[in-house]
Structure 1
Amino acid sequence: MLPKEQNVITTHHALLIGAGFTPKERREEWPALKGCVQDVRAIKEQLTKSVPGVSIRMLTASLTEPDASSPVEDEGDLSSHSNVMSSLEMITLQAAPSTFVYIHFTGHGTAIAPTSKFSSNSTGELALVLIAGGDATKIQYLRGSELAFWLKKMVDKGLKVTLVLDCCASGSVVRDEKDPSVRYLPYDSTVDAAYPPTPGQSLSLEDEATLPPFRGASMRSNWLVSPDGYTVLTACGPAEVARELQVGQQWYGVLSYFLARAFINCGRVGGRQQHIYAHLCARFREKGVRQTPMLYGNKRLCFFEDANREDDAIPISIMKNMDQNLQLGAGQAQGVCQGDKFALCSINPRKRDSEQNSVLFEVIRSGALMSDLNILGMAVVQSGMTATACTRLSLRRFPILLDLQLPCRDIWERARQERPSLDVQYSDNAEPGVSFSFHVTISARDSYEIQDELKQRIPDLPASQYDLQENAGYVLDIVEHLAKFKLVENLANGLLANPAHPFRKSFSVHLVNAAKKIFYPGCSKLGPFHPTCAHAECLVEVEDGDELTLVVQNKEEKGGRDIYFYFYNMGSCWEIENLLHGNHYVIPPRSSNKDDKDFENGTSGEWKQSIQNIVPREIKDKGKQNCDDIFKIFLTVQPTSFTLLELPEIGELTKRHGSSEGRGSSPAFDSEDWAALSFRVRTYVK
């Protein structure tokens, strides 16, 4: 018989904050938001249904009368600065390591003067607009540095944190129209002066400096906390506005509404962050909402739960255009080509296994950033679906010559047929005149060798843990990984080879070393958009531990186009890592908010961050004194995703063998312009 009282350990904490309140004296110009309370109620309903024992603290600010001076909630239930701060402290103190924490803010955002070295000097630092502690008729700002202080404490304690911000993510947009659905409240210096930050409860420079160790090229020095320990999902980028959406008689924040609907479709509050994010991107675009959600941090984490199985499939958004035709959110810039096949992928993992490979799509036209799809069958596709790649025919640009010296041709032939993305030819009947990118030799049951196009041995590949006379898949997975790496290395927009192409004038990109020497991308002889170069003078050399500064400039003036920026490191262990730890960064045009009294100089149109370069310990342990990386940069004028290009270190195939990709009314953007730029970087030990 169980005792009447037991100590129950809480494994899930949720803090839900609905704060759309506007002081009465400013309400005529900036009305209070209508959907914030409904947002958190909808999220609370899903949490209560699907997460047993979850501890939920809900703080709101409701106005039942339009002329009311203060919200109707009791002081303890108000979305006030003091209540939010005390809730963050309580969760941090009470939660044990590995506990899940979900913080959902829906309301007004604003921009304050920068308080951190990581803040933008031209667009300011994000602040959340809350009720003032002790005076429910006033507002008070929760600064980004205050929020980061508690976020860092949670991550350092080992808590698994998901933060959702359904508000305008910065003040970089001029809001000429007074649209009541926009979740932005202009900065008021008197509010800032009246409520200074609490001493000891905002991130200090010392806190910013205490970051975990890293390997290879890293931008960790630009992060407030380790991006591996949390995810942040925001309603829009820094050059966009977050809006409210009317559904029937109710108003909701766009992000909160579609997130709650995703939980309903998923059957619970949970799922992999990158699957949920791809689903949200598709819903936003189909709805015609001119805002793009952003995902920061570790996208491989799960939303408010642990992963119950290995799931490395990379989801790509599928959406319907104005003609109700299906389109894939990837194109030539991501290496997608006509004839590629994709399988439907649900955000509900319980459905994913049954749907995988049961609903197939084929690319019938590959555009620059979007591709037209044809359904292979009679299936009906719902809104917000995603797909994973079954074939990548662009990999066939890199033919493979296989010298099989073991008596097991039938096993290797079966494995070859299972990989239609690869052009594998046997050495005894290869097509004449083919220039092979990889030469694979299988001379023994326990060893293999792979050479490049110059027949130079590719070093540091993982040893086989399988009998190659019985398991051909392992080596073919290795060479497929190398082909994917080579595909990304060679990605380039050939149209930009024309010096007169107008997109070339829209941006500039360069690296600066500690001695202030400037390096430009590409090749000094063949041009900045040439993807590969072997000239010694084009190599960027940096000493182990030193920093390089990457500078990306949007050269368009106010009224021009935003530049969407994506940054990857192609490392010495054949990994392709997203150094932004977010889907993209938006760089607005120069002077785009010059009319804003709080930012008189306007935006600079410049993105600048430092990159620390380290020779990895495993490289040094092999007696090597340097390593080579490629910085791959993509620029577009509309949001897209390059997640399809990411790769783990090649050694991880040993752990993941067999779990790779499967086998077998939209807003109108003006342009699909895109650019790919490359820097070859060598880090050396002096």
Structure 2
Amino acid sequence: MPNQNDSDSNIHALLIGIDNYSSTSLFKSLEGAVRDINLVEAFLKNTLKLPTERIRRLIAPNREDTVLLVARSAHEPEPTYENIVKAFTELTEAAQPGEQIYIHYSGHGGRATTIYSDLKGEGQSDEGIVPMDIGQPDGRYLRDVELATLLKRMTDKGLVVTVILDSCHSGGTTRGDYAIRSSGETDTAIRPRESLVGSREELINNWRSLTEGIHRTAWIPVSRDYVVLAACRPTESAYEYSVNGKERHGALTYWMLDTLNTLPGTLTYKALHDRVGAKIQSKFPSQLPMLLGEGDRAIFGTNRISTHYTVTVLQVNASQQRVKLNAGLANGLDSGTRFAIFPFNTADFANKQKQVAIVEVTDIEASSATARVLAEVEGGIGVKGQIEPGAPALLLAAPTDLVRRVRFHDQKQLGEAENELPTQALVDQQKEALDAVRQALAGNGWVMEVQPGEEGHYQVALGKNGEYEICIGMPIKNLNPPLMFRDAAAPREVVQRLVHLTKYQSVQELDNPASELMDALEFILLDQNKQPFPNPSNITLKHGTKAYLRVKNTASQALNVAVLDLEPTWQISQIPLRGNNAAFYELAPQETADIPLRFTAPEGAAYQQAKEMLKLFATRGAADFRWLRLPPLDHVIEKQHEATRGIQSAFGKLLEAVGTEPNAAPVMTRAAVYEPDPNADWVTKQIQVTIVPESLLPD
């Protein structure tokens, strides 16, 4: 259920649904677009109690659909190009700053030869909404350049904008009981060049300002100023189908409303996207919904809600015994890794009573894993409720080879040296203090006490002031505030810090040097003039230095890439590629992305020489690396570098893009059959940087 605290009176809605494309042979008429709009309108009125006068509808039912024709008011304008532009303009004028705009479009998406060749280049395409009168002699698309300006006018006024696009703008055909909301062709017809949205100069200038240095992954440029939930990526298809065996609906709209109507509590767009995506992927593996913008914003609200990044359940078998997760080898998983599955939209993952099931990974691929549901686990029953696609799965224990060992050093002597204690009382209290941490280690899944004959990764000891020390060779500095052994909560917090360090170093060590993709990507750091550094294996930069991170796909296929920043504060953040801070960025063959960065050292004497690692992950499939992100070890510190255009908030996880049709018969072949190596489908690369004050740089 959406947040209704601020939704009753400040929402304006524009709903556009087009089934009737009878005036053109390029786009086949649909059956579910108007039905989508009627369902959305019913939700707005019945659930949000939105007054009729705040809802604008433009619908075009098929002429033979008498039920939907009757539902259309005689006074409602049809969704022609002119009427759609007019509706956007009137909506912008009517809404007041701070109010919300909700736009829902169900119909065809189209691609046409660009009429902005001076902006996009000769031979390129425009994409956008297909009005019902596209088949008329003067028929026009509402093109991406126009739509961007219409939305910019709204956000410039201070309106809070949400756009739902249940359509696609790539290839497809109609088959069986499914329809794809696109013609599958690029329209090369000569069409009017003038726009009713604005002057050509305004449209071009707005587009340039919005897209400078940013790659479009939808019809409109990525922006923090609005939320966009699109049915699919640009190269994919958006389906409408008979969900109940009778009436067609857009897959995105149907599962969006199903989620809003059946799930309690305040949802974020990220949570909505997770469940909707999983539901769609279980039916149409080739349709991967996209979420752009403020994914942590409450649905039909203006407040932001902090989110806990977890793995997502993509599929559940009928017997509730096996699940598919959207993480795999590239995320550091291995057979035997265990997850706790929680109900959809869970906010409190510390409450074990809310766990629905415990699962254990059995089969693993580069970007996904299959896990079995455990009937019983230590400490209780393994299954406590129904598992559904979209549910969050929280990692319980690290893969065996990522578990770290800790040694407790309780043999410090009395003295003034660095490794000695200043009072006999502290010497005598060492064992008691460290035994408390030993007890707190139980059940954390990531850190265990070193066993005889094993090497330890960390050492915990008592410091000169009665504080706990965590050592990796030498005591780690800047562990603030100090954890004093007399504090009852300190042992548990020491374990939390050890787990944090373990996760950080596990991400550091993720590697796949034998991958087939090793030579498919160029990953280098360039200076502010976009020239390579003299010694790329030993880059030392002064505080405040600007640079460019270059990622280039030299392969013949698109790759999904993400770049994590392993910061000296033990924080792991994600660097947005071309302004897109989604779970991954689809890097086209031969595409190059240059990301502007500024490096700064954290405050504090411990960071006089700060080590920072930029780590690239690339997969053929759709892996999600958001759950690898970590906050700083001790306290919230401003991000240590930022893209020149600003780091954007999380857009939410994208979901698995690879799969097979349910119940599809296997393809038989006489060729030799072999089990493909999932390690071939992912790769990592990394760049180490040292950041120092200018005064410490060598001459």
Taking structure 1 as the reference length, what is the TM-score of the superposition? 0.74
Asked if structure 2 preserves the Cα contact closer than 8 Å seen for 1:577 and 1:648, the reply is no
Q: Does 1:643 align with 2:622?
A: no
Q: How does 1:614-653 map to 2 (within 5 A)?
A: 614-616=598-600, 619=602, 628-651=611-634
Identify the residue that residue 261 of structure 1 maps to in structure 2. 258
Matched residues, number = 607
**What letter is aligned with 2:127?**
L
Q: Does 1:292 align with 2:288?
A: yes
Identify the residue that residue 437 of structure 1 maps to in structure 2. 457
Identify the residue that residue 563 of structure 1 maps to in structure 2. 559
For the structure 1 residues 43 and 457, does the alpha-carbon distance in structure 2 shift closer, same or farther, using more than 3 Å as the test?
farther
Q: Does 1:15 align with 2:14?
A: yes
Q: Does 1:548 align with 2:548?
A: yes
1:415-457 CA-partner distances (Å, limit 9, x unpaired): 322522223x3xxxx43454443444453788554443xx245
Looking at structure 2, the residues matched to 117 and 402 of structure 1 have their Cα atoms a distance apart, in angstroms, of 68
Q: How does 1:476-555 map to 2 (within 5 A)?
A: 476-496=495-515, 501=516, 503-504=517-518, 507-511=520-524, 513=526, 514-517=528-531, 537-539=536-538, 544=544, 546-548=546-548, 550-553=550-553, 555=555
State the shift of 1:264 in Å. 2.5
For the structure 1 residues 15 and 632, does the alpha-carbon distance in structure 2 shift closer, same or farther, using more than 3 Å as the test?
farther
Match of 1:34 among 31, 34, 37: 31
Shifted more, 482-491 versus 306-315: the winner is 306-315
Looking at structure 1, the residues matched to 115 and 489 of structure 2 have their Cα atoms a distance apart, in angstroms, of 57
**What letter is aligned with 2:602?**
I
For the structure 1 residues 587 and 207, does the alpha-carbon distance in structure 2 shift closer, same or farther, using more than 3 Å as the test?
closer
State the shift of 1:361 in Å. 1.9
Match of 2:339 among 325, 339, 342: 342
Asked if structure 1 preserves the Cα contact closer than 8 Å seen for 2:268 and 2:305, the reply is no
For the structure 1 residues 33 and 222, does the alpha-carbon distance in structure 2 shift closer, same or farther, using more than 3 Å as the test?
closer
Q: Does 1:329 align with 2:337?
A: no
Partner secondary structure for residue 278 of structure 1: helix
Q: Does 1:128 align with 2:133?
A: no
Partner secondary structure for residue 77 of structure 1: coil
Match of 2:446 among 402, 409, 421: 421
State the shift of 1:48 in Å. 2.8
State the shift of 1:683 in Å. 6.3
Identify the residue that residue 166 of structure 2 maps to in structure 1. 166
Larger Rg: 2
Asked if structure 2 preserves the Cα contact closer than 8 Å seen for 1:19 and 1:37, the reply is yes
Asked if structure 2 preserves the Cα contact closer than 8 Å seen for 1:320 and 1:666, the reply is no
Q: How does 1:223-234 map to 2 (within 5 A)?
A: 227-234=223-230
Report % sequence identity: 20
Cα-Cα RMSD: 4.6
**What letter is aligned with 1:282?**
A
Looking at structure 2, the residues matched to 154 and 330 of structure 1 have their Cα atoms a distance apart, in angstroms, of 38
Identify the residue that residue 144 of structure 2 maps to in structure 1. 144
1:373-409 CA-partner distances (Å, limit 9, x unpaired): 2223355645424232141313843333455766445
Identify the residue that residue 396 of structure 2 maps to in structure 1. 391
Identify the residue that residue 660 of structure 2 maps to in structure 1. 667
**What letter is aligned with 2:497?**
I
Looking at structure 1, the residues matched to 18 and 452 of structure 2 have their Cα atoms a distance apart, in angstroms, of 69
Match of 1:607 among 591, 600, 605: 591
**What letter is aligned with 2:596?**
Q
Looking at structure 2, the residues matched to 402 and 298 of structure 1 have their Cα atoms a distance apart, in angstroms, of 45
Partner secondary structure for residue 140 of structure 2: strand
Identify the residue that residue 487 of structure 2 maps to in structure 1. 469
Unaligned 5+ segments in structure 1 are 1-7, 213-218, 520-534, 589-604, 656-664
Shifted more, 230-239 versus 352-361: the winner is 352-361
Identify the residue that residue 239 of structure 1 maps to in structure 2. 235
Partner secondary structure for residue 257 of structure 2: helix
State the shift of 1:319 in Å. 0.8
Asked if structure 2 preserves the Cα contact closer than 8 Å seen for 1:401 and 1:438, the reply is yes
1:143-196 CA-partner distances (Å, limit 9, x unpaired): 32333334445445554433222222x54x5x5889982222444354653443
Asked if structure 1 preserves the Cα contact closer than 8 Å seen for 2:342 and 2:356, the reply is no
Asked if structure 2 preserves the Cα contact closer than 8 Å seen for 1:141 and 1:191, the reply is no
1:300-323 CA-partner distances (Å, limit 9, x unpaired): 333223669755252412413699
State the shift of 1:344 in Å. 2.4
Identify the residue that residue 594 of structure 1 maps to in structure 2. none
State the shift of 1:31 in Å. 0.9
Unaligned 5+ segments in structure 2 are 1-6, 376-382, 411-428, 639-657, 663-675, 695-699
Looking at structure 2, the residues matched to 44 and 450 of structure 1 have their Cα atoms a distance apart, in angstroms, of 58
For the structure 1 residues 282 and 191, does the alpha-carbon distance in structure 2 shift closer, same or farther, using more than 3 Å as the test?
same
